[in-house]
Every structure is written in C-alpha cells, then in structure tokens.
Structure 1
Amino acid sequence: MTNRLHNKTDLEDRERILRRIEIEQAKRKPSKIPVFPEIRPLVFGIRLPRPVLREKIALRLAQRLNEGMIEEVARLHEKGLSWERLDGFGLEYRFISRFLKGEMTKRDMISKLEIAIGQFAKRQETWFRRMERKGQAIVWIDPDYEQLKEKVLEAIYESSSAD
C-alpha cells in the first residue's frame, strides 16, 4: 500500500519528476550525430541610392528587351510552355506574357515592369534590414568594381582572422 502511495506522490511532485528526468537523461548514451561548428556567414550587400537604382533597372530592362527577350518568351510559348508556367519564371516573363496575350500595350508592359522590379528591389532592401535587426552583420559595398574587390577581400580577411 505504501508503494502505491509513494508512486502516486512521485507523479504529483514536480521536483521529483524533474529529478527523475535528469537521471534518465544522464543514463542515455551520447548522441552519434556529429556536432558541427557554428556557421558564421559573411553577407555582402550592394546599396545604391534609389534614383540610381531605378535608372539601372530601366537600363537593364531596355537591354534585355533589345536583346530579344520578348521573342524568347514567344518562342518558349510556341514550343509548348503554358502562360501559367511562364509566369513562374519571374517578373519579366510574367509581364511579357501578358503583353503577348494582348492584355497590355508594350509601353504599359515596360512601365509596369519597371515599377514591379523597383518594388521587388525595395522588398530585398527590407529583407536585408530585417537581417541586420536580427543581428546579422552585412558588409555594404558600393558597386564600383575597385571598391567592391577591396571591400570583399578585406571582409574575408577579417572574417578568417576572427576564428
């Protein structure tokens, strides 16, 4: 009778339950899962003033369109890719598909695509800021090639010497 009472008391006594769990965990064999060193990623970000970024977006879009992107999307559709599948390839494919389907003019397509790419770039900036708020150090670099090379090499050197 005392055994039953003792067992019942054990289950209701928080300290005894915690102690029993500690004892059982101590009896366990060590895990065979390897322990990996902490990974400290080195994150680089390129930051441009917003007007410069918009200009670069417009120039890059014009370049891609001049190099035959509209024709590429048309060819892909002719070869059997559905409009829905092309939508999944990215913003440019989505808007060019709408243009090719006659849902918008070429001028509207270019204008709306520039806006959509700009909005995407803004979301990327927000994502980087969130990373920084969570404690991730980001090495911000100017896209000037010489400065970029120096900054990257400096960050890699500092990162490796911190180990």
Structure 2
Amino acid sequence: MNKLVVIAGPTAVGKTQLGIDIALQCGGEIISGDSMLVYRGMDIGTAKPSLVERKGVPHHLIDIIEPGATFSAVDFQQAAEKLIFDIQTRGKTPIIVGGTGLYLKALLEGYTFVAAESNAAYRKEMEGVAEEKGSQYLYERLRCVDPAAAERIHPNNVRRMIRALEVAELGGETIPETQVLAADQLLRYDAVVVGITMERALLHQRINGRVDSMVEAGVLAEVEELLRRGIERDSQCMQGIGYKEFVAHLAGECSLPEAVENVKAHTRQFAKRQWTWFRKMPYLHWLEYQPKKGYASLLESFYQTFAGNYL
C-alpha cells in the first residue's frame, strides 16, 4: 500500500508549519487539503502560505483555479489521488495538510459520490423558497430528508443546502459524506493521520490574532479587487469566511469593526465544526500543542511517535 502523511486540525492551529518542517526532514511535498487555497488572487483572507513561508517545499493544489470557478470534494479526491501517485513514483513522501474534513475523509476512505444531475429549475425554486421563508426553513427541510447532510452544512449556507436537497429529493439518494470507518478498518492508503489540538482559549486567541493580521495586511483591498473583477457575491469563493463578511461591509450592511468581529466569530464557530468532523476519524492520532513547551515540542512529539517506524 502507498504511504503518506496527513496533517489535520482546526484553522490557525499550526498545520502549515508542521507540514513544511516534516517535508524538509523527509523529502516530502505538500498537497493542500484546504478548500480555499485553490483560488488565485485570494491570499490574505485564506492565510495562504507565501513562497518564503513554504521554504522551497513544493506545494500542490494551491492557486490552481480562478475565483468564480467551482471546486468540489470530488475534484480534490481525483486530483489528490493523481498527485499522491506522482509524488511517490518520484521517491518522495506526499504530505496532505488541511482542515477541510470532507476532503480528507473522501480521499482516505474512498468515498463514491452520487453523480446526480443538476436541475436549474429546482434550484431556482429553492432559491425563491429561501428568499421568501428564510434559510432556516430550508435547513429544517434538509433535516427531514437528509439529517446527516444537515449536520455538516451550516444553516446559512443556502447554496450547499439547495444542492443537498436537490440530490436527496430529485436523485432519491443522499450524498455519501457520512461514510464512517471503524478504527480497525484499513484506509485506502498506508497513512499516518495526525491532528493538532490545543486548549480552546488559546486557539481562539490565535484565531483573533490571525484575523487582525489579515486586516493589517490588506484583506479588505483584496476583497474589493475581487469584486472589481466581477466575482459575484454568491459565488463559491466569496462564501468563504473572511470574504463574505467584508463583502457585507462593502455593501453597507455593517461597519468595518462589525465585519472584523463577524470574521472572528465565524472562524471560531468553523473551528468547532472542524473538531466535530475530525472526531469522526477514528484513525486520527492527536498531538497537543502545549504553549509552555512550544512548537519544538510538538515537532519532537511527531517524530518520537512516527519517525522510528514510518519516515
């Protein structure tokens, strides 16, 4: 079986640095498992690692599509499978780094996604329902026909709720994102899957600091440029946290301080949902970041646990 390393965990927990340092030690290459890093020109709001931060380590699935285009779990699954094979063929170690739980589970557990055809008329109807009755109405409807989908989709994400309803009500099936493996079942790859965790208060502090840094780095100008280029507000990329809130501010719906606080709150909520996803991965090995010991201790813990018989 193929060998690879997966570094998972909530946003702002330190996945990027750990993945790069492991890659430098073992001759690895990074495959991004983040749904927002695929977009070109969306750098600040996604906390995309700069070329300097990448330290010469090859990174894949970053800056591969234009804003406005769509990228799904199926796209990630197919692209990552090809990259893993290519990297291993060249004698390197693929290291998947990311916090998009569905992407990681789909790849590692070999999801087979439902290929339901899209129905424009149905989507238009549901958009009207959402506008008339509100997103919560759609959410309750989704809970009735596909409770598992409702659990993983945020009640405010109208686009994803409509897609899930479309599959469930028109296709007569559910999107198989609820597949669960027992702890002793084999994954599709011979993988070490590591999750980074830390005290909740510390993570919230890091999230707040990251958002403040994004504002200082010019994320508002980045959003303005995307809108100037004609990227629609309801496009997939603009639904990302750190973009939709500033779009709302630019539309006059809230002040800049309110937008910043909304980004922080939504990011903290997202981190909580990420933890929920990762708890469904029984094969994940948790490593805790302890502030008194610092990052070096985290890196040492990884090597003590896995390097002797893996890397």
Aligned pair partner of 1:146 in 296, 300, 306: 296
Q: How do 1:1-163 residues align onto structure 2 when only pairs under 5 Å count? A: 39-85=189-235, 86-88=237-239, 90-132=240-282, 136-142=283-289, 144-160=294-310
1:91-149 deviations in Å (ceiling 9; x for gaps): 101111111111111122112211110011011111122213xxx14131316321122
Provide the rounded CA distance (Å) in 2 between the counterparts of 1:109 and 1:57: 15
Q: Is the 8 A contact 1:45 1:139 kept in 2?
A: yes
Secondary structure in structure 2 of the residue aligned to 1:84: coil
Secondary structure in structure 2 of the residue aligned to 1:83: coil
Q: Is the 8 A contact 1:42 1:159 kept in 2?
A: no
Provide the rounded CA distance (Å) in 2 between the counterparts of 1:118 and 1:45: 17
Q: Is the 8 A contact 2:197 2:287 kept in 1?
A: yes
User: How far 1:154 moved relative to its partner?
Assistant: 2.2
Provide the rounded CA distance (Å) in 1 between the counterparts of 2:188 and 2:215: 44
Provide the rounded CA distance (Å) in 2 between the counterparts of 1:113 and 1:139: 27
When the two chains are superposed, the root-mean-square deviation of aligned CA atoms in Å is 2.1
Q: Is the 8 A contact 2:194 2:285 kept in 1?
A: yes
Q: Is the 8 A contact 2:195 2:284 kept in 1?
A: no
| Compared CA separation, residues 101 and 148, structure 1 to 2 (3 A) | same
Provide the rounded CA distance (Å) in 2 between the counterparts of 1:38 and 1:75: 41
Secondary structure in structure 1 of the residue aligned to 2:298: helix
Q: Is the 8 A contact 2:278 2:284 kept in 1?
A: no
Structure (1/2) with the larger helix percentage: 1
Aligned residues: 121
User: How far 1:160 moved relative to its partner?
Assistant: 2.4
Provide the rounded CA distance (Å) in 1 between the counterparts of 2:188 and 2:278: 21
Provide the rounded CA distance (Å) in 2 between the counterparts of 1:147 and 1:70: 36
Instruction: State the TM-score, normalized to the length of structure 1.
Output: 0.66
Q: Is the 8 A contact 1:73 1:96 kept in 2?
A: yes
Instruction: State the TM-score, normalized to the length of structure 2.
Output: 0.36
Provide the rounded CA distance (Å) in 1 between the counterparts of 2:210 and 2:197: 17
Q: Is the 8 A contact 1:99 1:106 kept in 2?
A: yes
Larger Rg: 1
**Aligned residue identity for 1:119:** Q
Which structure is richer in relative contact order (CA contacts within 8 A, separation 6 or more)? 1
Structure (1/2) with the larger strand percentage: 2
Provide the rounded CA distance (Å) in 2 between the counterparts of 1:141 and 1:158: 20
Q: Is the 8 A contact 2:196 2:289 kept in 1?
A: yes
Identity %: 26
User: How far 1:49 moved relative to its partner?
Assistant: 1.0
Q: Is the 8 A contact 1:142 1:148 kept in 2?
A: yes
**Aligned residue identity for 1:117:** T
Q: Is the 8 A contact 1:61 1:114 kept in 2?
A: yes
Gaps of 5+ in 1: 1-36
